[in-house]
Amino acid sequence: MSTQKTNTRNTVLILMILGTAIAMRLITYYFPAFSNFTPFGAIALFGGTYFTDKWKAYLVPLLTFIVSDIAINYLYFERNIVDFSSTLWVLISFAIMVFIGSRIKKPNVVNVSIASLLSVVVFWLLTDFPWLYGGGLYPHTLTGYGQSLIAAIPFQRNMLFGDALFGLVLFGGFELAKKNFSQLRSQHELAV
């Protein structure tokens, strides 16, 4: 694939990721009922699936999350707050989601749906350890972990719905664009 085609493909992927992330982070700020109804699971899967350079697959979604997290914290607290104590586990979860996305060889509704469900479960199990946040909301025991998981179900439901909607937009939009613009196809797709 020529450098121009690679740059065009990467630019489109990055713009799709940034546009989706910025729009939804602002919507969730103004409409808190949409808490955790975000595109980040879908973005991680999308990046893992479509970036041919795997370092970009990890860097773009994770950097997008970090920058948007800083911006949303500024909106909420009117100052820059970077708290990596909990963010680290969220980033690890998203990195795992990128890896899951990189395993999608043929993007279709079934494959993306299975990957989305697996990603939400990974996120749910990793980010709801009560002892990760140092707070006293749940006991730092297996019972507390169970309570935390149960309390997180509405947030994970929102994440699953967000992944479904934004997965449809990102994956469907890019697949449609690839059909109309050959410069968005990967080298492998051009060879077939």
Average pLDDT, rounded, for the chain: 83
pLDDT at residue number 4 = 65
Residue 154 belongs to some domain of the structure: yes
Residue 191 belongs to some domain of the structure: no
At 7-16, the pLDDT tens digits run 888 889 888 8
pTM, 2 dp: 0.85
pLDDT of 168 > 90? The answer is: yes
pLDDT at residue number 78 = 67
pLDDT at residue number 6 = 66
- What is the spatial distance between Cα 17 and Cα 2, in angstroms, rounded to a whole number? 23
Residue 150 belongs to some domain of the structure: yes
Residue 17 belongs to some domain of the structure: yes
Query: Taking phi first (over 0 means left), then psi (-120 to 50 degrees means alpha), and beta for anything else, what does residue 119 get?
Result: alpha
Of 43, 6, 41, 5, the closest CA to residue 173 belongs to 43
Residue 79 belongs to some domain of the structure: yes
At 102-148, the pLDDT tens digits run 999 999 999 999 999 999 999 988 888 766 665 667 888 888 888 88
In angstroms, how far is the first alpha carbon of the chain from the final one? Answer: 13
What sections of 78-152 are H helices per DSSP? Answer: 84-102, 109-127, 142-151
What is the tally of structural domains in the chain? 1
Residue 192 belongs to some domain of the structure: no
Of 131, 114, 130, 119, the closest CA to residue 156 belongs to 119
Residue 174 belongs to some domain of the structure: yes
Residue 190 belongs to some domain of the structure: no
Q: Which domain holds residue 14?
A: 3-185
Of 167, 159, 170, 69, the closest CA to residue 121 belongs to 159
